[in-house]
Structure 1
């Protein structure tokens, strides 16, 4: 019995490790393809890219783990079935359930570990990756001068070089226009050659210019022509021009700004934010009438001045009176203007409160969704294993052919259902709890059906059985048709 358990565990462990890293590699490539435009041409250090990929790989475990569990389970039992090892196990009097018991325990431990990972490690990973990705996407592209084209990347300057060296550090035939918001004058610098290098702190770019001239023209404070305006011309053999490059450096944003996002909270924090947001939403809803009740009048100004408030008995008859009968002619314009003012104020208050109500309600839904997603990661590993293991035992095909196709099909079904349900929950069509557990509820009967078919040695995917059943059905139709045709001829 122990040898069988070791055999099953070895047969599962190797495909699980291989498929997990393959899936992680594919997901990382998709991540790079998604953000490739934000990474190229910005001069990041190698450790920044490596740090981003490290956090991204940890964040992708929530999707890679269920898919690897499904694919490895199909491959494991497909290989055992194809090599008739499952038949030998059953011939020895050992049921499939007993042979799988250590594997079921291992999968259970992996699922429990994935729950703790999603509760303790994943929020920190999402926080680190989210803040770093925000800084990466907001960083400006590196300063690059192309031949014969003006570059306006540096604020206040336009730089043009006719050509440059192969390494891009030496520029030839330079023209530099300086645009100053303080002075209305013109500042132009021409140089035959310029050597470009950075300061030690990389906050400044320094151009060491050779053989050039600098033109400065200042006005008396207006742009009109002034014959007494000053014009200065400087010739130089060598000089340096310093440019502020601090805007091109990546600045790390404070991570505390991202901590309130639902994906960056654990279970206790999600409970706290859900309760606090719910209280804020209730307080907003409770103050709506108090803000508009001063402008929401059940009696008109004329009756208020006459000290004749409306009574319950005659309110309907009063409202049925015409506008001319209730308000005198000299008061009508004032009454209309006051009413329009009250209506505008009430509308603005209700619009503002409706927007705040929608934002708070969406935040609560996201907190609840993320709260339940901590549990669905562990449950999805168990569910997809329950689908993959009996499916592999039924199809009896190993390798990376049919098992991969079947795994991708079932995982896409699970992922599409969960994505649609989560989106519907955010839009308010269904509840957030139902939006999180819909995919698991839909696929659980399928897992039970496949487990039953695998336990009873059903040839569910045997094409020959379906051909025999189809032939029997066709023969029955032919028999009934012949009997009916003979009766009709009589």
Structure 2
């Protein structure tokens, strides 16, 4: 029995590790394709991009882990079925449920690890990832001089280069426009060639220009005419230095991201949600007390008082001037209540939306673990039924079921955010739908079902067509 368990575990661990890293690699490539424009051409050090990729990979675990469990379980039991090893196991008197026993333990341990990761590690990874991604996207484009176009990266300057040599530093046909906003002065510089390099501290860009001329306009000494003086200066060589401090990446304060929902664990989510609920209740009570003077009504006893005589209230009909004077007052009170309720209602809707977000994130901590178990219940019996290993049919089947899970989970989360359904129902909808499917497949696999046997379907339809031909 222990040898069989060891065989199944060895058959599962290898494809699980391979598929997990393959899925992580694919998701990382999608991340790079999405943010490639924000990373290229900004002068980042290699370790900044590597750090961002590492945090992005950690945030993708919530999607990669369930898919890897599903795909590896289909591959494991499909390969066992294809090599008739499941037949040998069943012939030895071991049922499929007992053969799945060690795998259930391993997947349960993975689910517990996924829960601990989503509660402790994922908030930190989200915090590092989103804060670094925000700083990267806010970073200005690194100053790169391209041929034949005006480069306006440096404020106050517009630089055009006719040609660049292969070394990337030697320039030909340099043109520099400079405008000073305070004095409204204009300066134009032309140079036949130049050399471009950065200072060792990477704070300045230096252009050493040769054989050129500079034209500038300046106001007169009395500042009456802004363009009265015109200067022209020829030079054999000159040097221009441009400040690159604006192109250095600046990190935002970490405290600005601590209150974000994705950066909280279960304890923080519970405390934040309780505080908002308490604030909503206090606001509701204060609003009711504030609006009560504008609401006029008669208080009637719920039951008749013993020993008292009751009689019907006379109907009061307002006519003439009395009605004419009462309507504006009633309209004014109704308008006042309406104006008071409008901001209260908007604030209540926003706070209710925030409470739903906290509840969604709270349930999301558990759905990752539950998704691993639910998809394993689908993958293991499905592999035993289709009896195909490798990366062919198992990949297709696993992608179909994972897309079903992902689509249902996405629709449920969106509906929960909009308030159409409760957050618990929206986040657990995919688990509640897929778990019965997994139990059904487990039942079929335990009874040697021909659910995916194409030969059985061919024989079934051939019998039907033969009966129709015989009756005709």
Deviation at 1:226, TM superposition (A): 7.3
| Distance in 2 separating the partners of 1:348 and 1:214 | 65
Using the TM superposition, name which of 89-98 and 411-420 deviates more.
Answer: 89-98
Distance 1:221 1:274 in 2: 67
Residue pairs, 1:48-59, within 5 angstroms? 48-59=48-59
| Counterpart check, 1:456 vs 2:447 | yes
Task: Please show how residues 209-288 of structure 1 align to structure 2 within 5 Å.
Answer: 209-219=209-219, 229-288=228-287
Q: What is the root-mean-square deviation of aligned Cα atoms in Å?
A: 3.2
Look up the match of 1:414. 405
What is aligned with 1:365? 356
- Distance across 2 between alignment mates of 1:426 and 1:316: 49
Q: Distance between the aligned counterparts of 2:143 and 2:208, measured in 1? A: 17
- CA-to-partner distance for each residue in 1:103-138, whole Å, 9 max, x for gaps? 211111111111101111111111111111111112
Residues 445 and 236 of structure 1: CA distance in aligned 2, closer, same or farther (over 3 Å): same
Matched-pair contact (CA < 8 Å) for 1:184–1:223 = no
Residue 436 (structure 1) aligned with residue 427 (structure 2)? yes
Task: Structure 2: state its 5+ residue gaps.
Answer: 298-312
Decide whether aligned partners of structure 1 residues 372 and 190 sit closer, same or farther in structure 2, where only a CA change above 3 A counts: same
Deviates further, 441-450 or 201-210: 201-210
* CA deviations over 1:43-97 (Å, ceiling 9, x no partner): 2222111111111111111111110101111111111111111111111112222
3-state SS in 1 of match to 2:159: strand
Distance change in 2, residues 1:166/1:447 (3 Å): same
Q: Provide the residue aligned with 2:460 in structure 1.
A: 469
Contact 1:422 1:436 in 2 (8 A): yes
**Matched residues in 2 for 1:250 and 1:351: separation?**
43
Between 1:146-155 and 1:262-271, the stretch displaced more is 146-155
Q: Deviations over 1:185-232 (max 9, x none)?
A: 3233333333222233323222223333433322269998579x3444
3-state SS in 2 of match to 1:35: helix
Aligned twin of 2:416: 425
Report the Cα offset of residue 463 of structure 1. Answer: 2.2
User: Match of 2:122?
Assistant: 122
Q: Give the stretch that moved more between structures: 150-159 or 66-75.
A: 150-159
SS in 2 for 1:179: strand
Alpha carbons 1:184, 1:222 under 8 Å: kept? no
State whether structure 2 residue 149 is matched by structure 1 residue 149.
yes
Secondary structure of the structure 2 residue equivalent to 1:398: coil
Give, in whole Å, the separation in 1 of the partners of 2:347 and 2:186: 51
- Segments of structure 1 that go 5 or more residues without pairing to the other structure are 300-312, 483-490
- Give, in angstroms, the shift of residue 284 of structure 1: 3.9
Residue 316 (structure 1) shift: 7.2
Name the residue aligned to 2:28: 28
Contact kept? 1:184, 1:221, Cα under 8 Å: no
Structure 1 pair 238/431, CA: closer, same or farther in 2 (3 Å)? same
User: Aligned partners of 2:222 and 2:464: how far apart in 1?
Assistant: 97
Residue 290 of structure 1 deviates from its aligned partner by 6.0
Shift of 1:179: 1.7
Residues 70 and 385 of structure 1 are in contact (CA less than 8 Å); yes or no, is this contact kept in structure 2?
yes
Give the SS at the match of 1:253.
coil
How far apart, in 2, do the equivalents of 1:285 and 1:218 lie?
66
TM-score normalised by length of structure 2: 0.87
What residue in structure 1 maps to residue 392 of structure 2? 401
Q: What is the rounded CA distance, in whole Å, between the counterparts of 2:72 and 2:214 in structure 1?
A: 71
- CA contact 1:422–1:435 (8 Å) conserved in 2: yes
CA apart distance, 1:293: 7.1
The total of aligned residue pairs comes to: 457
Distance (whole Å) between structure 2 residues aligned to residue 353 and residue 243 of structure 1: 53
Distance 2:409 2:320 in 1: 58
**Structure 1 226/466 Cα, relative in aligned 2: closer, same or farther at 3 Å?**
closer
Distance in 1 between the 2:102 and 2:465 partners? 46
Distance 1:388 1:197, change over 3 A: same
- Cα separation, partners in 2 of 1:454 and 1:325, compared to 1, 3 Å: closer
Contact 2:367 2:428 in 1 (8 A): yes
1:139 matched to which residue of 2?
Answer: 139
Query: Is 1:15 the counterpart of 2:25 in the alignment?
Result: no
Tell me, in whole angstroms, the C-alpha distance in 1 between the residues paired with 2:290 and 2:348. 15
SS at match of 2:180: coil
Question: What does residue 76 of structure 1 align with?
Answer: 76
